Structure 1
Amino acid sequence: MMNEPPPGHFYLAGRLFPRQKWYRNANMRWLYFYILALIITNTANGFDNSMMNGLQTLSYWQDYFNHPHGPTLGLFNCVMSAGALSGLLFLPFLMDRYGRKPCLVLGSLFMLLGVGLQSGALNFAMFVAARWILGVGDILVICTAPLLVAEIAPPQDRAVLVTISGATYYTGAFIAAWTTYGTLKIESNWAWRTPSLIQGLFTLMMLAVVRWIPESPRFYVSRDQPEKALQMLATYHANGDENDELVQTEFTEITTAIALERHARHSVAFLDFLRTPGNRRRLVIVVSVGVFSQLSGNGLVSYYLSIIMDSIGITSANEQLLINGALTTFNLVTNLFFCFFIDKWGRRPIYIVSTVGMLVAFVVWTILSARYAIHGDSSLGSGVLAMIFIYYLCYNAKSGLISSYTTEILPYSMRAKGYTIMEYALYASLFFTQYVNPVALDNIAWRYYIFYCCFLALEILVIWFFYVETRYVPLEEVTKFFDGEDVAAVTNHELQKVA
Structure 2
Amino acid sequence: MVGGAVAVAGTDTHLSRLIDPNRKWYNNRRLLALNGWIALLLITASTNGYDGSMMNGLQSLPQWTSYFNHPTGSRLGLLNAIQNIGCLAAYPFAPYLSDGIGRRATVFIGALIMCIAVGIQTAAQSVNMFIGARFMIGFGLTFASNAAPMLVSEVSYPTYRAPLTSLYNSLWYSGAIIAAWSTYGTFKIPNTWSWRIPSLLQGLPSILQVCLVWFVPESPRWLVSKGKDQQALNTLAYYHADGNEQDPLVQYEYEEIKAAIELDRAVAANVGWKAFVATPGNRKRLRIIVAIAFFSQWSGNGLVSYYLNKVFDNIGITNPTTQLLINGILQIWNLFWACSASFLVDKAGRRVLFLTSASGILLWWTLQTVCVAIFAERGSAGAAHSVIAFIFLFYAFYDLAFTPLIVSYTVEILPYALRAKGFNIFNFVISCALIFNQYVNPIALDALHWKYYIVYVCWIAFELVFLYFFVVETKNLTLEETAALFDGEHAAKEITHAGVFDMSEDASEKGSHSTYSPQAEFKA
2:266 is matched with: 263
Q: State which drifts further: 430-439 or 135-144.
A: 135-144
| 1:141 and 2:122 correspond | no
2:129 pairs with 1:126: yes
Q: Does 1:498 align with 2:499?
A: no
Which among 363, 367, 373 is matched to residue 370 of structure 1?
373
SS of residue matched to 2:125: coil
Structure 1 distance, partners of 2:270, 2:408, is: 24
Counterpart AA for 1:18: D
SS at match of 1:372: helix
Deviations 1:424-455 (A, max 9, x none): 11110000001110011111111111111111
1:138-163 per-position Cα deviation (integer Å, ceiling 9, x unaligned): 11112211100000001111000001
Deviations 1:295-322 (A, max 9, x none): 1110101000000001001010111111
Q: Which residue identity lines up with residue 149 of structure 2 in the other structure?
A: P
C-alpha offsets along residues 36-56 of structure 1, whole Å, 9 cap, x if unaligned? 111111111111110010000
Q: Aligned residue for 1:5?
A: none
Match of 1:3 in 2: none
The Cα shift of 1:136 comes to 0.5
**Mapped pair 1:11 → 2:16:** no
Given the alignment, which residue of 475, 483, 489 partners 1:485?
Answer: 489
Q: What pairs up with 1:221-260 in 2 under 5 angstroms?
A: 221-260=224-263
Q: Which residue among 449, 456, 465 is the counterpart of 1:445?
A: 449
Asked whether 1:212 is paired with 2:226, we answer no
Give 1:227 deviation, angstroms: 1.5
Q: Kindly tell me: are residues 404 and 191 of structure 1, through their superposed partners in 2, closer, same or farther at Cα, counting changes over 3 Å?
A: same
User: Percent sequence identity over matched residues?
Assistant: 44
Taking the TM superposition and a 5 Å limit, the aligned residue runs for 1:285-364 are 285-364=288-367
Which AA in structure 2 matches 1:13? H
The one-letter code matched in structure 1 to 2:277 is L
* DSSP-derived class of the 1:497 partner: coil
Residue matched to 1:198: 201
Q: Quote the offset at 1:360 in angstroms.
A: 1.0
Tell me the TM-score normalized by structure 1: 0.96
Cα distance between partner residues in 2 of 1:250 and 1:476: 14
Q: Which runs of 5+ in 2 are unaligned?
A: 1-8, 505-524
Written as runs of structure 1 = structure 2, the 5 A alignment for 1:104-123 is: 104-123=107-126
Deviation string for 1:343-362 (max 9, x for gaps)?
A: 11000110011001111111
Q: 1:418 aligns with which of 415, 422, 425?
A: 422
After TM superposition, the structure 1 = structure 2 runs for residues 94-105 of structure 1, keeping only pairs within 5 Å, are 94-105=97-108
Shift of 1:477: 6.0
Distance in structure 2 (CA, Å) of the matches to 1:490 and 1:498: 19
Q: 1:290 offset after TM fit, Å? A: 1.1
Per-residue CA deviations over 1:4-37 (Å, capped at 9, x if unaligned) read xxxx966353652333222332222211110011
Question: In the comparison of the two structures, how many residue pairs are matched?
Answer: 492
The separation in 2 between residues aligned to 1:472 and 1:420, in whole angstroms, is 27
In structure 2, the partner of 1:406 is 410
Which has the larger displacement, 98-107 or 16-25?
A: 16-25
Q: 1:79 aligns with which of 70, 77, 82?
A: 82
What is the aligned counterpart of 2:46 among 36, 43, 46?
43
| Residues 14 and 189 of structure 1: CA distance in aligned 2, closer, same or farther (over 3 Å) | closer
Aligned residue among 469, 475, 478 for 2:473 = 469
Structure 1 Cα separation of the partners of residues 258 and 13 of structure 2: 15
Rounded to whole Å, the distance in 2 between the matches of 1:258 and 1:466 is 28
Give the SS at the match of 2:84.
helix
Which amino acid counterpart does residue 42 of structure 2 have in structure 1?
I
Q: For residues 207-239 of structure 1, what are the alpha-carbon distances to aligned partners after superposition, in whole Å with 9 as ceiling and x for unaligned?
A: 221111111111111112221111110111011
8 Å Cα contact 1:13-1:495 kept in structure 2: no
SS at 1:315 equivalent: coil
Picking from 52, 55, 68, the partner of 1:65 is 68
TM-score, normalising length: structure 2? 0.91
Shift of 1:498: 2.2
Shift of 1:338: 1.3
What amino acid is the match of 1:347? R
For 1:484 and 1:177, locate their aligned partners in 2 and report how far apart those are by CA, in whole Å: 47
Give the letter aligned to residue 278 of structure 2.
Answer: R
Distance 1:75 1:428, change over 3 A: same
Distance 1:149 1:378 in 2: 47
Per-residue CA deviations over 1:163-184 (Å, capped at 9, x if unaligned) read 1111000011011111110000
Matches within 5 A, 1:182-193: 182-193=185-196
Query: Which secondary structure state, in structure 2, belongs to the residue aligned with residue 345 of structure 1?
Result: coil
Structure 1 gap segments, 5+ residues each: 1-7
Cα deviations by residue, 1:183-223 (Å, 9 ceiling, x for unpaired): 00111110000000011111111222111111111111111
Q: Is the 8 A contact 1:10 1:18 kept in 2?
A: no
Question: What CA distance in whole angstroms lies between the structure 1 residues aligned with 2:432 and 2:220?
Answer: 31
Structure 1 residues 358 and 480: alpha-carbon distance in aligned structure 2, compared to 1, 3 A threshold: same
Q: Which residue does 1:435 correspond to in 2?
A: 439
Which residue number corresponds to residue 56 of structure 1?
Answer: 59
Letter in 1 for 2:237: A
Partner of 1:4: none
Q: 1:125–1:476: structure 2 CA closer, same or farther, 3 Å change rule?
A: farther
CA contact (8 A) 1:295 1:452 kept: yes
Distance 1:32 1:428 in 2: 32
Q: Which amino acid aligns with 2:374?
A: R
